């Protein structure tokens, strides 16, 4: 089997962790691109020099030239500014739209067959723009938000119940904003409903309150990290989340992961990128998994989608 090639556009905080994770998992050869001279070269040299310790054997290259991304199977985009305390993701739209425009042009010209995973914020708008400019089919341009938002939700549940994070499944749908939709009804500990476990622990009323607090914390979890770091936003967790998606694509695993996908009628949404469960394989999004939302969930989804529409509409 030919070696896979992964290109990472943006060599900042998330880009560096992405490169290291690709190497540690030997997902393929890795190119790290940034406009800052020396930054991607320095990071890749640093990561390459520890191959003998971590025992990975992949080619790692830092570059300021888009030519080097030729032949990429997967391109992950983190180029763009992160939030500072007090900022919403949407505050980044103007500056990051300009960056995304040049990035998408670079990918289109040099890696026309790649599958693109966008991480840059505001996520739903940046994926939309990236697809528009590249003109790539929708199944090959997707965004990472849901894997991370879901992992945050699952973490809070595990900590609350005192059980292993390995045994909790939880999922969020919708946009990557404060109106995202954590799916309370389907959160489980190895299949046992979390709502039931919370009722056992606290009684029905207090159990509901505890769940509501976790939903609220999930929605604000990115901001919680920003407020602590003060100089940027989360980077380990978004990197690991995008790697789970990239790995499913590169190895054709067909994992079902919450993914920012272009919807054409699914969940009642038409013509917008929104987070939904998708099967990720060698073709990118191979299918979108639909199921019936109850009235409350649908109302939350509608609100989240409305926010995405407004955000996308605000792009010049």
The contact set with ligand TXD (CB under 6 A) reads 9-15, 34-36, 78-83, 92, 96, 99, 102-103, 119-121, 123, 144-145, 148, 176, 232-235, 238
The CA–CA distances, whole Å, from 248 to 123, 127, 154, 262, 309 equal: 20, 19, 20, 19, 29
* Closest approach of ligand TXD to the CB of residue 207, in Å: 29
* Closest approach of ligand TXD to the CB of residue 205, in Å: 33
3-state secondary structure (DSSP) of residue 71: coil
Q: Is the dihedral of CA 111, 276, 168, 191 positive or negative?
A: negative
* Closest approach of ligand TXD to the CB of residue 99, in Å: 4
* Closest approach of ligand TXD to the CB of residue 210, in Å: 25
Identity of the residue, 15 or 277, whose beta carbon is nearer to ligand TXD in the bound complex: 15
Six token digits for residue 144: 């990472």
Nearest CA among 307, 306, 313, 274 for reference residue 290:
274
Nearest CA among 28, 12, 20 for reference residue 53:
20
Sheet containing strand 168-169, edge to edge, reads 168-169, 188-189, 192-193
* Closest approach of ligand TXD to the CB of residue 92, in Å: 6
The CA–CA distances, whole Å, from 214 to 88, 135, 293 equal: 20, 39, 20
Identity of the residue, 34 or 297, whose beta carbon is nearer to ligand TXD in the bound complex: 34
| Euclidean distance between CA atoms 47 and 38, whole angstroms | 14
| Per-residue DSSP letter, 182 | E
Question: Which DSSP helix (H) or strand (E) runs through 60?
Answer: strand 60-63
Nearest CA among 199, 186, 167, 175 for reference residue 125:
175
CA triple 112-15-113, angle to 5 deg: 10
CB-count exposure of residue 138 (10 Å: 0-12, 13-18, 19+): middle
Identity of the residue, 208 or 217, whose beta carbon is nearer to ligand TXD in the bound complex: 217
If you search the block for the tokens 């978004």, which residue do you land on? 238
Q: Closest CB to ligand TXD belongs to which residue?
A: 12
Catalytic annotation, residues: 176
Cα dihedral: 47, 48, 49, 55 (round 10): 100
Quote the radius of gyration of the chain (alpha carbons, Å).
Answer: 19
Identity of the residue, 104 or 197, whose beta carbon is nearer to ligand TXD in the bound complex: 104
Identity of the residue, 17 or 198, whose beta carbon is nearer to ligand TXD in the bound complex: 17
* Closest approach of ligand TXD to the CB of residue 94, in Å: 12
* Closest approach of ligand TXD to the CB of residue 172, in Å: 11
Identity of the residue, 141 or 197, whose beta carbon is nearer to ligand TXD in the bound complex: 141
Identity of the residue, 99 or 114, whose beta carbon is nearer to ligand TXD in the bound complex: 99
């Amino acid at each position: 089997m030919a070696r896979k090639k992964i290109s990472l556009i943006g060599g900042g905080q998330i880009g560096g962790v992405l490169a290291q994770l690709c190497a540690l998992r030997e997902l393929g050869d890795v190119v790290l691109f940034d406009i800052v001279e020396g930054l991607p070269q320095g990071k890749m040299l640093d990561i390459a020099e520890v191959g003998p310790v971590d025992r990975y054997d992949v080619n790692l290259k830092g570059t300021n030239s888009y030519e080097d991304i030729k032949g990429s199977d997967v391109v992950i985009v983190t180029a763009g500014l992160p939030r500072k305390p007090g900022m919403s993701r949407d505050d980044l739209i103007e500056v990051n739209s300009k960056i995304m425009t040049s990035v998408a042009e670079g990918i289109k010209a040099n890696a026309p067959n790649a599958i693109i995973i966008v991480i840059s914020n505001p996520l739903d708008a940046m994926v939309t723009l990236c697809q528009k400019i590249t003109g790539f089919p929708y199944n090959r341009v997707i965004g990472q938000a849901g894997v991370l938002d879901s992992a945050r939700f699952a973490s809070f549940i595990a900590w609350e119940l005192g059980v292993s994070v390995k045994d909790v499944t939880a999922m969020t749908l919708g946009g990557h904003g404060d109106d995202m939709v954590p799916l309370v009804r389907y959160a489980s500990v190895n299949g046992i409903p979390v709502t039931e476990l919370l009722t056992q622990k606290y009684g029905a009323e207090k159990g509901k309150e505890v769940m509501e607090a976790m939903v609220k914390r999930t929605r604000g979890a990115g901001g919680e990290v920003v407020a602590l770091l003060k100089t940027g936003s989360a980077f380990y967790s978004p990197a690991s989340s995008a790697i789970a998606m990239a790995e499913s694509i590169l190895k054709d695993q067909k994992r079902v992961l919450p993914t920012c996908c272009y919807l054409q009628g699914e969940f009642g949404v038409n013509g917008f990128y929104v987070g939904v469960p998708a099967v990720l394989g060698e073709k990118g999004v191979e299918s979108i998994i639909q199921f019936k939302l109850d009235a409350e969930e649908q109302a939350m989804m509608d609100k989240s989608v409305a926010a995405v529409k407004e955000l996308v509409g605000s792009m010049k």
